[in-house]
Amino acid sequence: MKITTLLGSPRKKGNTSAILEQFENVAVSNGHEIDRINITGYKIRGCIGCDTCQSIIDKPGCILKDDTLSIFERMISSDIIVYSTPLYVWSFAAQIKPLIDRQYCLVKNFGTAQYRSFLKDKKVALLVTCGGESENNADLIPIIFQRESDYLGCTVIGTYIVQLCTPENPSGTNSDEIVQQMSKDIL
């Protein structure tokens, strides 16, 4: 099985990366292929809302010339996509947010009988690290992720929040349990 992981953290070797890597190591040891995409290594411009992509039906299509469409091709060719991000202001980090916004071009004719999504029926998961407790802190990001996944026609197979990731405790209070649960749910 091919699993694409999206590291949406500004720190390539930060808490989110380390916990995601734990999951990736388990996946590889179980014979799965991992395609990690470190978002900070790519040029991803923000959506400009021109709707040109909606007139291009047979492919994602976007007039912006950057790395986004090549990332989308890798996601489309995957069986499972794991989005990972540190929690910033109750949501996704700025580095991954433009990619999420640009997923608009992956859906055509939303809300009509001609609806089509290039990620339809993909399995997706979300890994979030946060410096505080989950409650009243990381409670909105799963809702945002679920709504985006519904729009894309994806099936959410898990939302995982590692809380209390601090400089003194970079793996948070529950990373081992989270990686175990991710492995059980995803693999």
Domain-by-domain residue ranges, the chain? 2-186
Rounded to whole angstroms, the Cα distance separating 183 from 104 reads 29
Element (H, E) at 139: none
Place of tokens 């400089």: 167
pTM: 0.97
| pLDDT for 165 | 92
Rounded to whole angstroms, the Cα distance separating 142 from 115 reads 24
Is the pLDDT assigned to residue 24 strictly greater than 90? yes
- For the segment(s) 2-186, the CATH number from 3.40.980.10, 3.40.50.360, 3.90.550.10, 3.30.70.520 is 3.40.50.360
Handedness of CA 151, 152, 158, 164 (dihedral sign): negative
If one counts every other C-beta atom within 10 angstroms of the C-beta of residue 157, the result is 16
- Provide the percentage of residues in the chain whose pLDDT is more than 70: 100
Rounded to whole angstroms, the Cα distance separating 25 from 133 reads 26
| pLDDT for 8 | 98
